[in-house]
Amino acid sequence: MLASTRMGWGGRRIGLATNQAHSSENTDMSNNSCDQNLEERDFGELYDEYFDRVNRYLRCRANNVWDADDLTTTVFLKALEKFHQYDRRNPFASWIFRIAHNTFIDYLRKKKEYPLEPTSWVFEESDETWQPERQVLDKEQIEFLHEKLSRLTGDQRDVLTLRYFADLKISQVAEVLGKSESAIKMIAFRGMKQLQQLVKGCEQG
């Protein structure tokens, strides 16, 4: 993708690519972009790369797609505002997902004050931008997993969603949640075991 506009801000490039075409799914479980020692891409390039992951993460966690999209908007507006504070020696993924996670925590606090009826995000096909080409699980399977995830503890949900939905490394999850890597590994292990038992129980039942 060509970045056609680049603007300076705080001495750093925050150019935003103006390519109007839908970006393809460009994230995967690998984290090659975060392996760079020094992040040199501008905000536009990072936005293009990380929007999908952030949006997906928040759609997994929020009660409905509308809240998730609002949260995604909030995350990138905050990121742009604070981009000059971003230390390029650290992975952008950790930085943007810390914002995303904190935004989600704020969302949960407000949701406690003003609870809304949860709606399913998986089965909403009214979103015309939805491109379910990679959907390999059926509705029941996805709903099943989502329901099991919701039965985990908050820490376990945080770690597993960040680890497997946001596609972060253990070290990055640790950085986002402000915990040690060993603690994250332990939480992830227990979460997976818990999830395993929940799935086993259902399969046995």
Which residues are near another protein by CB under 8 A?
Answer: 5, 7-10, 14-18, 20, 22-23, 25, 28-30, 43-44, 47-48, 51-52, 55-56, 59-60, 65, 69, 72-73, 76-77, 80, 121-122, 124, 127-132, 134-137, 141-142, 145-146, 160, 164-165, 167, 185, 189, 192-193, 195-196, 199-200
- 3 state DSSP class of 186: helix
CB of 20 to another protein, least distance (A): 6
Tokens representing 27 are: 């994230």
Nearer of residues 29 and 109 to another protein, judged by Cβ: 29
CB of 151 to another protein, least distance (A): 14
Distant-in-sequence, close-in-space partners of 75: CB < 8 Å, separation ≥ 6: 54, 58, 96, 99, 100, 103
CB of 113 to another protein, least distance (A): 25
Nearer of residues 105 and 199 to another protein, judged by Cβ: 199
DSSP-assigned beta bridge partners for residue 8? 13
Nearer of residues 21 and 109 to another protein, judged by Cβ: 21
DSSP per position, 76-96 = HHHHHHHGGG--TTS-HHHHH
Q: Quick check: 39 and 92 in contact, CB under 8 A?
A: yes
CB of 161 to another protein, least distance (A): 9
Measure Cα distances from 190 to 143, 153, 158, 196 in Å.
22, 10, 13, 9
Nearer of residues 98 and 142 to another protein, judged by Cβ: 142
CB of 85 to another protein, least distance (A): 14
With vertex at residue 89, the alpha carbon angle to CA 83 and CA 91, rounded to the nearest 5 degrees, is 75
